Amino acid sequence: MMYHILLSRDFDLEGIEREAQAGKRPRHVIWNLSQTLGATVHVPTNDPLTLFDWLCSKIIGQPEQWALARRLVSQLTEHDTVFCLGEDVGFALAILCKFKGKRPKLAVSVMAPYRRRVRRLLKFFRLGDQIDLFAVNTQIKATYIRDYLQLSGERIYQQPEQTDIRFFNPGAAQPKTRPLVVSAGLEQRDYQTLAAATQALDVDVKICAVSPNASAKTKVAFPKVMPDNMASRHYDWSEFLQLYRDADVVVVSLLWNNYSAGLTTLIEAMACRRPVVMTRTPGLADELINLGLVTGVEAGDAAGLQHAITHLLEHPEVAAQQAEAAYARILSEHTSEYYVESMIAQLQQLGNVPQPESFAAPLPA
C-alpha cells in the first residue's frame, strides 16, 4: 500500500522542519504525519496549467489544484491511499478519479460541509461513492455529512484539533506595568467588539493580526479608530510565543460562524496555559465552554466580553484553575503526536479495507 498526502497549497515542509528543530517555530503536523506514515506529499505548484484546469476551477478550487489532481489520477491505483487536506483539492481528485474509473482509497478533510457549493458537488457528482473517509473537526460537521449523504458512521472521522506543544508551552512572562489582553488571527475575527469591551479598562490589548489562510474573502471587523490601549501588528514566531506567555487573558472574539474559526488560537493559548475567553460557536469551542475550560460569551456582546475579562483579571485563582484544566486537556487530546497517531490509524485501516464498487447508500432523488 502506497500513501499520499495532497496539500491545497504549497508549503516548504522541509524548511519548516529545519526551523522547528532549531526552535524558531512550531513543527508542521503534516511533516510528522508524512514521515511517520512514509507518505509522499504532493503540492500544487509546478504542474503545467491547461484550459481544462481553468474551466474546472470554476467548479471548486484553483487551477493549480486541478492540474495536480489531473497528473496524479493517471498514476493512482486501488493500491494507493490518498489523504487530501481540503475539499478544494480533494473534490478535484475525487471527481477526476470518478470519470477515469479509478478507485484509490480517498480520505478528504472537509472544512465547510454546509456551504452551498460543497453540498451541491457532493450530491451532483455523488462523491459519497468516491470518497471513502470524510475527515472533519467537529461532531456537528460529522453528523451533517453522515445525514446528508446517508453514510455509515465509520465513513466519518472527527479529527482532533492539535498544536505543537514542543513550541507552544508554558513559560515565564516578561515584566509589564498593567494587565495584558492578547488576541490573534484574522478569519471571522471581531476586533470591534473586543475594542468596545476593553477601551475603558486599565489593560493593554495586543493583537497578532495574521492568518495563514487569509484571503480577499476573509471576514474581519476592526474598529474604525483603534483605542489608545489597543495595538495590532505582525509578530514573528518567537515574539508570538512570548506574547501568549505574557497574556493575563487571551480573547478569541469572533463574528458568528459555523465552521469553527479561531480554534488554532484557542488551542495555542491553552497549550501555553493561559485563560481563554472565546465567542461561543458550534463545535469544539462550545464543548470546551460547557466543560468550564474556556469562558464563553455571545457574538457581539461587548458588555459580556468585558465582564468575562474583568472577572478573570480580578480573580486570578479562577483564571489559573481554568487555564490548568484546559492545559491538561491539551496534553491528553490535542497534541501533534496524538493527531498523527490517530490519523495514521484511520489511514492504515482504510488502506486495509477491500474496496467495493460503492460505499454510499442510495441518495434521495
CB 38: neighbour CB atoms within 10 A?
Answer: 10
Residue 360 lies in a domain: no
- Report d(CA 276, CA 15) in Å as an integer: 32
pLDDT at 273: 99
- Report d(CA 256, CA 245) in Å as an integer: 27
Residue 141 lies in a domain: yes
Task: Indicate if 209 and 325 belong to the same structural domain.
Answer: yes
pLDDT at 294: 99
Task: Indicate if 329 and 340 belong to the same structural domain.
Answer: no
The number of distinct structural domains making up the chain is 2
Task: Indicate if 230 and 196 belong to the same structural domain.
Answer: yes
User: What are the cell numbers at 325?
Assistant: 484544566
Residue 363 lies in a domain: no
Q: What CATH number does residue 254 fall under? A: 3.40.50.2000
Task: Indicate if 189 and 274 belong to the same structural domain.
Answer: yes
Residue 361 lies in a domain: no
- Report d(CA 113, CA 125) in Å as an integer: 15
Task: Indicate if 276 and 346 belong to the same structural domain.
Answer: no
pLDDT at 355: 56
pLDDT at 364: 33
Task: Indicate if 83 and 42 belong to the same structural domain.
Answer: yes
Task: Indicate if 158 and 188 belong to the same structural domain.
Answer: no
pLDDT at 144: 95
Tell me, what amino acid is at 186? Answer: L
Residue 169 lies in a domain: no
Task: Indicate if 106 and 253 belong to the same structural domain.
Answer: no
Whether the Cβ atoms of residue 343 and residue 159 lie closer than 8 Å to each other: yes
Q: Which domain holds residue 150?
A: 2-162+336-352
Task: Indicate if 320 and 185 belong to the same structural domain.
Answer: yes
Residue 105 lies in a domain: yes
Task: Indicate if 38 and 154 belong to the same structural domain.
Answer: yes
Residue 281 CB contacts under 8 Å (≥ 6 apart), including other chains: 254, 256, 257, 258, 260, 261, 262, 299
Residue 167 lies in a domain: no
Task: Indicate if 106 and 193 belong to the same structural domain.
Answer: no
Mean pLDDT per segment of 10 residues, for the chain of length 365 residues? 95 96 97 97 94 97 98 95 98 97 96 94 96 95 96 95 98 98 97 98 96 73 96 97 99 93 97 99 95 98 99 99 99 98 96 56 32
- Report d(CA 132, CA 81) in Å as an integer: 10
- Report d(CA 181, CA 251) in Å as an integer: 7
Task: Indicate if 347 and 309 belong to the same structural domain.
Answer: no
pLDDT at 362: 33
pLDDT at 214: 61
pTM over 0.75: yes
Residue 44 lies in a domain: yes
